[in-house]
Amino acid sequence: MSQFAAEIGTTQTQIHELAKRMLRYRWICYGMLLLTYIFVYFDRVAPAVVAPELMKEFGLTATSLGILSSMYFYPYAAMQIPSGILSDYLGPRFSVGTFFIIAAVGTALFGLAQSFGVIVFGRFLMGVGVAVVWIPCMRILANWFRPNEFSTLTGMMLTWGNAGAVLASAPLAFLVGLVGWRYSFFWLGAFMVILAILNFVILRNKPADKGYPTVSDIDGVQYYQQAGVKVSFKENLGKLFKMRNYWLIAVYAFMIYGTVMGFQGLWCIPYLQQIYGMPKQTAANVLMFWPIGMALGCLTAGWVSDRVLKSRRKTSLYGIVIYALTWLPVIIWPDSLPVNWFYAILFIMGFFCGAYVPNYAHIAEGQPHSFIATANGMVNIWYFVGGALFQAVMGLVLDGYGKVGDKFPVEAYRMSFVLCLIALVLGAIAMYFTTDTKVVTKDDA
């Protein structure tokens, strides 16, 4: 703290007051991003609830519905490098505020669309806009918080994101029943414009923007690498690509999140309606237990990684193994499980799929401070490429069997679930071969 005091020419008493203000204001910035991130997840999984309406109104096959839903994920993945660069060099405030308006426009357009081309474009704009939220969140964490808070706060962020997924299940189904799916998306887009404006007003990129000390200044610990010689973006990117951990974590991310978005994000409700004859509202009520479980699982995974196992690798590995096992009931008994069991099954699946949370800290540790957001963006690409491909490929599997009447046969769904299980085994193998990283704490000072 004495160095910071000397730099700004003020007393230790004043510095301590500034430190208190910093430690308070960081939670305001973080809270603003939590609220924003709710609607990132809402947009991500909302098509699952309105899938039957979309197929009927636009005459879609399972493959074309998968393509429509996946149009969120391809631009999301493509935007991760620009998102990291924007976050590292222009700051989270500009990045989130600007691009969330694009997401709002896409969401409203999704509801207004009268043709398949327009609704695909709306879905595309959703993906472009919300893509520039998560990585700025990682930049805020790196600028305002300690490394041993990183996974816990990442888990909390994903917990709030899953609150958006909860809203995009039973509550969305109820709203659609009241005002229709079109008005539901239009008014959501209008509310997202308000959130974008609030990000401009409230968010600050780093403590220095308000004249506050950093956590390194406060604790007297140099938490993040500061390169003595300036290293270019190209050099940092080259070093990242040479890391074995990066590619192994990429495989893990692709596999685990592909299965999440393939099932929770699109095909769960059609499966429950067609195989178990559930009404839409009942199927949405059941689906709601996945994001509830995932919200708790993400928070738990972050906390376990930071405080209990103190291992990114072990937390992610144990979680994906248990998550893979939760797929066995729907593979072995795809059409004969007691309906009430699905509440527990989807909750448990959601809880353990949150095991991917420590991946962000896993890849951030060891990176230069100025490159952390970009490095996380490079990992985030693989989550969303997986999400896009699994939605489309599961649709191809279903179309490959064809419909019997107006329903896909049970074997079609079983084979799509087998595909998910194989992917999870490959993801677990990849995580097994990663090298763990050290969690830096104040005790290391």
pLDDT tens-digit series, residues 92-135:
999 999 999 999 999 999 999 999 999 999 999 999 999 999 88
Token digits of residue 189: 């887009």
How deeply is 445 buried, as exposed, middle or buried, from its count of CB atoms within 10 A (0-12, 13-18, 19+)? exposed
Percent of the chain with pLDDT over 70: 92
Q: CA-to-CA distance for 64 and 32, rounded, in angstroms?
A: 36
Q: Write down the pLDDT at residue 197.
A: 94
Let me know: does 297 contact 290? Beta carbons within 8 Å: no
- Note the pLDDT of residue 3: 57
Name the one residue in this structure whose structure tokens are 């406060």: 218
Q: pLDDT for 176-222, tens place per residue?
A: 889 888 999 999 999 999 999 999 999 998 888 888 888 887 877 77
Q: Where are the domains of the chain?
A: 2-215+235-438
Distances, alpha carbon 376 to alpha carbons 40, 323, 387, in Å: 17, 23, 17
Mean pLDDT of 28-34: 92
Question: HEC states along the chain?
Answer: CHHHHHHHCCCHHHHHHHHHHHHHHHHHHHHHHHHHHHHHHHHHHCHHHHHHHHHHHHCCCHHHHHHHHHCCHHHHHHCHHHHHHHHHHCCHHHHHHHHHHHHHHHHHHHHHCCCHHHHHHHHHHHHHHHHHHHHHHHHHHHHHCCHHHHHHHHHHHHHHHHHHHHHCCHHHHHHHHHHHHHHHHHHHHHHHHHHHHHHHHHCCCCHHHHCCCCHHHHHCCCCCECCCCCCCHHHHHHHHHHCHHHHHHHHHHHHHHHHHHHHHHHHHHHHHHHHHCCCHHHHHHHHCHHHHHHHHHHHHHHHHHHHHCCCHHHHHHHHHHHHHHCCHHHHHCCCCCCCCHHHHHHHHHHHHHHHHCCHHHHHHCCCEHHHHHHHHHHHHHHHHHHHHHHHHHHHHHHHHHCCECCECCHHHHHHHHHHHHHHHHHHHHHHHCCCCCCCCCHHHC
Q: Hey, what are 96's tokens?
A: 């989130």
Give the residue from 133, 135, 134 showing the smallest Cα distance to 85.
135
pLDDT band at 227 (very low <50, low <70, confident <90, very high): very low
Distance of alpha carbon 14 from the chain centroid: 39
Distance CA 395, CA 30 (A): 37
Q: Which CATH number fits domain 2-215+235-438: 3.40.50.970, 3.30.70.2190, 1.20.1250.20, 1.10.10.10?
A: 1.20.1250.20
Q: What is the pTM of this model?
A: 0.75
Mean pLDDT value across the chain: 86
Instruction: State whether the Cα torsion 101-58-254-31 is positive or negative.
Output: positive
